[in-house]
Amino acid sequence: MLLLELWQMPHSRRYRSSERSSRGSYHERYRSRKHKRRRTRSRSSSSERDRRHRREDSYHVRSRSYDDHSADRRAYDRRYCDSYRRNDYSRERGEAYYEPEYRHSYEYRRSRDREGSYRSCKSSRRKHRRRRRRSRSFSRSSSQRSRQSSRRAKSVEDDDEGHLIYRVGDWLQERYEIISTLGEGTFGRVVQCIDHRRGGARVALKIIKNVEKYKEAARLEINVLEKINEKDPENTNLCVRMFDWFDYHGHMCISFELLGLSTFDFLKDNNYLPYPIHQVRHMAYQVCQAVKFLHDNKLTHTDLKPENILFVNSDYELSYNLEKKRDERSVKSTAIRVVDFGSATFDHEHHSTIVSTRHYRAPEVILELGWSQPCDVWSIGCIIFEYYVGFTLFQTHDNREHLAMMERILGPIPSRMIRKTRKQKYFYHGRLDWDENTSAGRYVRENCKPLRRYLTSEAEDHHRLFDLIESMLEYEPSKRVTLAEALKHPFFDMLEMEPSTKMWDSSRDISR
């Protein structure tokens, strides 16, 4: 009976004899610490708190930062410098949702260690150790703890940045069992889960930070994904499928089908070796089909790029190149999905002035002439080129330099667009104000050339490909090819004749 009464008593904090005389001063010191408060659903014992601290520590040790490139890299070494692929625009309705820390792989890229996070983690561990030395508490026996359901979190905690603190084996909504971390960004983290209400299928769960601007951006993305599900219930139009969404103690969570690497990550892991032309054909056709579906439903994606086009399955075959003395990968299946609808815009919605990631930004966006669906077509033209040659067509981060590259590759900007734009600072007497004798001018002259000079073969098929790219990279949006027209282009005539190209299977079992 005495033991039972002791167990039912509130857990009290005990102090060493040397501290008893100064309990007040101890509490003052404790309150003065810059220790962020945690949100809790229920009171928990100190031992449970210790376990959560250890869980948080182990997670931060595993997680990594995306920007692991040395600072002394040459400024113009842009083909291999990921920092130049970061998204440099702000969107009024969710501007920080696509900030630079997470530009390279949408949801499914593996995370890397961030030095700042590691330092703060070490500091946090020191604070927790000091707390444990100063206090003791009763704790339940291991047998009693084991009887607690692992599916029901006794408390929900966030770290200093607003990320949900979790560990492998945790359950959310008594449905999603976390089995690994897939990626991390400023908006939140993506984890691989077992969905126990869908027969144990594996899904990707995007967990948004408990920060209002990210949550609002997530709500906008959910709205677009629900419209896509409504218009395409059979998932035949190759847009990533959302299974479920919910609010988990202030964290918006979205459940998606589990996919493979992005087409950019596969290219990067393969030493930027271009995709074979028959794979370029199949991938380009699918992207055109998926985005045409969006356009038919009065949507503009606005952020198309290789990072936002994912392989359904990125398994590959490995071969050895004797000439270059390296292993080379060839993806087994070119079935893809278009992802990342956080900045997708309906025709009736407000159109932000600047959209798209820099390298895939259409000229009408740079010149602030207004944009609509044709800006997606321009982005697709840049993407197809990148698949074919292995590097970005417009490797820049400056508007004026970007326009100079366009003129070097595609010819002069139409005078009508120059007269109409408000960005007259880029022009002088009706022509682009650009000095070729500067270092930037020399860079553009040495690294850019007319589009057709990028051909790697004189075969008719290659010329057809570049004819398609040229029609997508037309300056005037009204003259740019539509995706309905693009799907009928002669470049795609051989699609069904190529036995190595397997058409996509939208009914695949995602649990595999």
Question: Locate tokens 């003791």: which residue?
Answer: 136
Angle (nearest 5°) at CA 66 between 216 and 191:
55
Strand 326-331 to 242-248 pairing: unpaired
Sign of CA dihedral 194, 195, 200, 202: negative
Count of C-beta atoms within a 10 Å radius of residue 175: 17
Angle (nearest 5°) at CA 388 between 384 and 390:
105
Q: Is the distance from CB of 95 to CB of 163 less than 8 angstroms?
A: no
> Is 423 annotated as belonging to a binding site?
no
Q: How many residues does the chain have?
A: 512
* CA–CA gap between residue 179 and residue 163 (Å, rounded): 17
SS3 readout for 438-451: CHHHHHHHHHCCCH
* CA–CA gap between residue 313 and residue 329 (Å, rounded): 14
Q: Is the distance from CB of 390 to CB of 268 less than 8 angstroms?
A: no
To 10 degrees, the CA torsion angle through 63, 195, 220, 398? 30
Element (H, E) at 213: helix 212-231
Q: Is 303 an active-site residue?
A: yes
Per DSSP, which regions of 176-296 are E strands? 176-185, 188-195, 201-208, 242-248, 251-257
* CA–CA gap between residue 259 and residue 108 (Å, rounded): 7
* Catalytic choice (303, 376, 433, 467): 303
Question: Which residues, other chains included, contact 474 with Cβ-Cβ below 8 Å and sequence gap of 6+?
Answer: 480, 481
SS3 readout for 265-290: HHHHHCCCCCCCHHHHHHHHHHHHHH
* CA–CA gap between residue 181 and residue 218 (Å, rounded): 19
Strand 171-172 to 176-185 pairing: antiparallel
Question: Which residues, other chains included, contact 396 with Cβ-Cβ below 8 Å and sequence gap of 6+?
Answer: 78, 84, 358, 359, 402, 405
> What residues are annotated to the active site?
303
Q: Give the annotated binding-site residues for ATP.
A: 206
